[in-house]
Structure 1
Amino acid sequence: MKSYMLFIFVLLFAGRTLAQSLYSANPDSASLFPKKHGRFEDYAFVLNGNVIEQDSLMNYFGTKLNTVFPYPIQLEGRSYKGAVYFHNKEYYAPPIRYANDPAYFVNGRQVSPYHIRLLKVEAYNKISKTIRDTVIDGKLYNGCIQIDTDEDIFAGRISLPQLIEKYTDLPLEKIIFHWRGGGYHYTSEDDIGTIIDNDFSVHSFSIAKIDHNTNLGVSAIEIDRVRFAEGERYVVHVVDNTYKWRNAKANLTFSDPLAIDTLFPCYLPDFDEDGYSIFTSTEISPQPYKGNTGYLKKLSRSMGLASEKGSGVIIDSIAIQFVVLKSGMLSRLKSLSPEKVYHKDILIAIKKNACIWLPAIQGGRPVLSWVKMKIFYKTDPKGEIQSLDRIEFPHNIRAFKN
């Protein structure tokens, strides 16, 4: 950890955080618009690891903002409301999260590495990647990943430039963006948020509350002015708990982005079930996203079949089992039926569409669980599958297991 961060980990915390003029969380209200601009009143300014007077920052050319620590802190024997960290020497520059990630595109639109880890992987249709270096708008990326979905995953979201235009009266070129969660106490480095000062267009946010249980979405906007040697800039703080929230499946999928299996991105062939408790019955059963009908359409598409039930009159079935992990990924897929020539295609389609599963819930938390199901399909007289007909789940799941 670089020197400037050492200050954070030798803190003496003092009580509840003093807020910096937070505004209403109602996205349809003008009260979300900041009425005034602060100047980091009672905050320590720390440059290259040393506390300086705020006004003296104007004497240091080439200074960049590292991060904002929005919690009570003691530095050099003095208490502050918070601290703002700067550097003009690269040795003190902070590490950039996801700096080595590829460029991400969803339905043809570039998104940030943060956004990609928030998305519902269940909505994915296809993932493709290139591992060669990619230059976009003059910026070098370590490869490129493209995702196609059935859904408009940008619905209800607003881009960072649009947010600035709608909720502030500031020119974009004078903005430094500070995105953080809304907690009142520091518990980890994630609590301080992140600084965004370029590539504004790839970032987007949900202004409305997108989940009442997790309180996700932008809840407050505040602004502080900073006088640099090169001129005045505005630090726009957006309080949004999605900064700390991550979709478990997306996080796993993109833990090593360029190693992603684009054919079976959510199927783990090497999961070892030894030592794990795997439920056969839970309060909320694992289920495919948007139900069995949508799942059959996904499987049909992967197999090159019509999504509507075909005219075949011979109905056959395959019984299968697999494990749904806590993240919603699948493993341990196995056919329990006598092998038939087209069963392999069904098993491959299940692996391709492993992302679509939601995990079982027991005691309010996701758990590992077995799924046993039969897929019924129609064939022609030659035994070739014409369409998938329906899915059934056995009531006695224990008897179904080999």
Structure 2
Amino acid sequence: MTTAPIKFLLLFVIMLVNMHVARSQQFSTNSPNNTLLYPKQYGTFENYVFILNGGIIEKQELLNYPEARLGRVFNYTSSIKRMYEGVLYFHTPWYPPSPPDEYANDPAYFINNIQVSPYIVRSSLTEQYTNIKRSEQDTLIDGIVYKGSIHIDTEEDFFANRMTIPEIVKKYTGLPIKDVVIHWRNDFCNIQNPGLIIQDHFPLYYFDLKGLQEVKVDRIPFAGGERYFIHLVDEGYPYDYFPEKSFRSTLKADMIFDYPMDFDPEAPCYEEKFNSAIYDIHHRAKSESKPFGGEEDYIKKLANNMGLQTIKPPAKTTQDSILVQFIVLWKGGITHLESLSPQKPAHTKILQAIKHYSCVWSGAEENGTLLLFRRKMAIFYSKDKEGNIRSLDHLEYRYDDHQPPS
């Protein structure tokens, strides 16, 4: 072989290598958490404490307890992590189990006619709710008797970008679903907020892949055979402090479903009995309460709820307005709705519509602190000669005289 063909062959090989490297880099760039989402090696809970029925055991001793069941797992994040990564709690039937699922007695939840777990409904976007129906009739589903059911309709296609646990396990691990236990948590994990152990009813859990941060696998040697413990670190896991991206949706849904059979389905985020006298109510804020989607979209929602046209009717009308005020709560619901205008029969439907869409308001904020905020606004509408409202036209915010808008 002459020198020229050899040089050409070497150049071709170098080009192929460079193309492969470039494609690998491109894939890594498009999938920033690629190494976290595709575990190639499985751990075995190295440096974890194993506790069975209240006493510390060695990992391999689980093989001697065929009825042992996993209860909880804590991943240490404090200084104790220097000694141990975390602790796993197991129990047998005769020993008190770990605290039960806090939502075990909840009704069955459905979003757009598909059943979801109580945790997933609490991470849904309440601003997108269009209708809620509730039934107190007991419902038997897959061997579980639910004390009633709640059906939610939403504007968004809730399931468009979400995957169930079986789909995630298949995509990211390839493990058989019958052999896995799921530990779902967020990246802020401690004893007060340890996450959730999921061992069955996997299809009820839907995860937004944009919030999935890590999929990690450990193995546990049970007497009945080895099982795989999958850690899902996800931004959508409900928790008690205000994370930057999810406090608006998660905590507002928590507010609605805190007592799932008590809230008013026609006004799910409206608080009837709130005692505002003991709190400071703010009239101005650096970030003031506004309706999700903007004022124009909000007016359309109110009009649709009232059965009105979304555009001005061609018939001869005159313009009128109603001045209302209400308090927006820390989590975004509202309370103390009242009309400041002379009472007119047509205003009743406007007030009902405002209550119905009580979930769409964002909380007010000042220097990172959520505030109670009094929102005062004028809603302008067109009415016919009989005084019937024909369309809602626009809204304008109003402020107290001693606190003019900045």
TM-score (norm 2): 0.84
Aligned to 2:122: 117
Instruction: Report the CA distance shift for 1:42/1:384 in structure 2 as closer, same or farther (over 3 A).
Output: same
Q: Secondary structure at the match of 2:182?
A: strand
Unmatched 5+ residue regions in structure 1?
1-22, 209-216
Aligned residues: 365
Q: Distance in 2 between matches of 1:232 and 1:155?
A: 34
Instruction: Report the CA distance shift for 1:262/1:397 in structure 2 as closer, same or farther (over 3 A).
Output: farther
Query: Identity of paired residues, percent?
Result: 40
Aligned to 2:290: 287
Cα distance per residue 1:59-92 (max 9 Å; x no partner)? 21222111122228999xxx54322111112542
Q: 1:43-122 maps to which residues of 2 (within 5 A)?
A: 43-71=48-76, 80-89=84-93, 91-94=95-98, 95-122=100-127
Q: Distance in 2 between matches of 1:281 and 1:250?
A: 26
Question: Partner amino acid for 1:348?
Answer: Q
Instruction: Report the CA distance shift for 1:84/1:351 in structure 2 as closer, same or farther (over 3 A).
Output: same
Aligned to 2:199: 197
* 8 Å contact from structure 1 (residues 329, 355) kept in 2: yes
* 8 Å contact from structure 2 (residues 122, 238) kept in 1: no
Q: Distance in 1 between matches of 2:192 and 2:282?
A: 35
Q: Distance in 2 between matches of 1:170 and 1:367?
A: 47
Aligned to 1:222: 216
RMSD of aligned C-alpha atoms? Answer: 2.5
Aligned to 1:373: 377
Q: Distance in 2 between matches of 1:40 and 1:24?
A: 30
Q: Secondary structure at the match of 1:201?
A: helix
Q: Distance in 2 between matches of 1:169 and 1:123?
A: 34
* 8 Å contact from structure 2 (residues 123, 237) kept in 1: no
Aligned to 1:156: 161
Q: Distance in 2 between matches of 1:282 and 1:62?
A: 57
Pick from 203, 210, 226 the counterpart of residue 232 of structure 1: 226
* 8 Å contact from structure 1 (residues 176, 195) kept in 2: yes
Instruction: Report the CA distance shift for 1:129/1:244 in structure 2 as closer, same or farther (over 3 A).
Output: closer
Moved more, 230-239 or 302-311: 302-311
Q: Which has the larger radius of gyration?
A: 2
Pick from 305, 310, 319 the counterpart of residue 307 of structure 1: 310
Q: Distance in 2 between matches of 1:241 and 1:348?
A: 35
- Determine whether 1:319 maps to 2:323: yes
* 8 Å contact from structure 1 (residues 279, 368) kept in 2: yes
Aligned to 2:353: 349
Question: Partner amino acid for 2:114?
Answer: R
Instruction: Report the CA distance shift for 1:315/1:74 in structure 2 as closer, same or farther (over 3 A).
Output: closer
Aligned to 1:8: none
Pick from 260, 268, 289 the counterpart of residue 265 of structure 1: 268
Question: Partner amino acid for 2:219?
Answer: R
Aligned to 1:206: 208
Offset, 1:397: 5.4
Offset, 1:321: 1.1
* 8 Å contact from structure 1 (residues 25, 32) kept in 2: no
Q: 1:107-186 maps to which residues of 2 (within 5 A)?
A: 107-183=112-188, 186=190
* 8 Å contact from structure 1 (residues 218, 239) kept in 2: yes
Question: Partner amino acid for 1:301?
Answer: N
* 8 Å contact from structure 2 (residues 123, 238) kept in 1: no
**Greater fraction of residues in helix:** 2
Q: Secondary structure at the match of 1:393?
A: strand
Moved more, 170-179 or 297-306: 297-306
Q: Secondary structure at the match of 1:265?
A: coil
Question: Partner amino acid for 2:227?
Answer: R
Q: Distance in 2 between matches of 1:90 and 1:337?
A: 66
Instruction: Report the CA distance shift for 1:340/1:74 in structure 2 as closer, same or farther (over 3 A).
Output: closer
- Determine whether 1:364 maps to 2:364: no
Q: Distance in 2 between matches of 1:162 and 1:148?
A: 24
Instruction: Report the CA distance shift for 1:72/1:377 in structure 2 as closer, same or farther (over 3 A).
Output: closer
Q: Distance in 2 between matches of 1:96 and 1:233?
A: 22
Offset, 1:28: 7.0
Question: Partner amino acid for 2:213?
Answer: S
Aligned to 2:237: 243
Q: Distance in 2 between matches of 1:151 and 1:398?
A: 41
Q: Distance in 2 between matches of 1:83 and 1:393?
A: 54
Cα distance per residue 1:277-324 (max 9 Å; x no partner)? 111111122111101111111111211112222234211111111111
TM-score (norm 1): 0.85
Q: Distance in 1 between matches of 2:41 and 2:376?
A: 59
